[in-house]
């Protein structure tokens, strides 16, 4: 049975930006605030929204619980590239096929932080 997808988000507080910046740094990307409930993870640091290359979105579920969503097709492309290349050893970092929706994948940063960073790093490279 697939895990239950977080259904609501709450507003970020100022101290949450520390976590978001650490996540972005660990992935090797940039972050920007989309609205009071969402940050985007971007390949490029630019003021032009369409040119940033967003590849994931960070949401806050509770005070110490964040989750990151991305498109399933991007996860599938990154998995295929990892299998075809010299990075097949990290294939276990990718989420199983039992996901929450047909077109998106969510990563729980509380229990799966390092795997989320690994997979999102691959997605950043192919986007």
Predicted local confidence at residue 109, as pLDDT:
85
Mean pLDDT of the chain: 81
> What does residue 17 show for φ and ψ, rounded to 5 degrees?
-65, -30
Does the pLDDT at position 98 exceed 70?
Answer: no
Give me the half-sphere count of Cα atoms (radius 13 Å) on the Cβ side of residue 62: 5
> What does residue 84 show for φ and ψ, rounded to 5 degrees?
-80, -20
Question: How far is the C-alpha of 24 from the C-alpha of 39, rounded, in Å?
Answer: 10
Query: Does 94 or 70 have the greater pLDDT score?
Result: 70
Three-state DSSP class for residue 57: strand
Is residue 44 very low, low, confident or very high in pLDDT (cuts 50, 70, 90)?
confident
Three-state DSSP class for residue 31: strand
| Predicted TM-score (pTM) of this structure | 0.79
Which tokens is 102 given? 């047909």
Does the pLDDT at position 101 exceed 80?
Answer: no
């Amino acid at each position: 049975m697939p895990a239950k997808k977080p259904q609501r988000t709450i507003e970020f507080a100022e101290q949450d930006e520390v976590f978001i910046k650490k996540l972005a740094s660990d992935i090797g990307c940039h972050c920007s605030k989309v609205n009071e409930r969402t940050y985007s993870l971007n390949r490029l640091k630019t003021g032009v929204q369409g040119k940033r290359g967003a590849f994931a979105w960070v949401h806050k579920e509770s005070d110490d619980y964040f989750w990151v969503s991305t498109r399933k097709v991007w996860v599938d492309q990154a998995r295929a590239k990892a299998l075809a290349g010299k990075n097949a050893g990290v294939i276990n970092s990718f989420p199983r096929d039992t996901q929450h929706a047909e077109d998106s994948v969510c990563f729980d940063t509380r229990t799966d932080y390092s795997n989320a960073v690994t997979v999102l790093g691959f997605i950043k490279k192919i986007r």
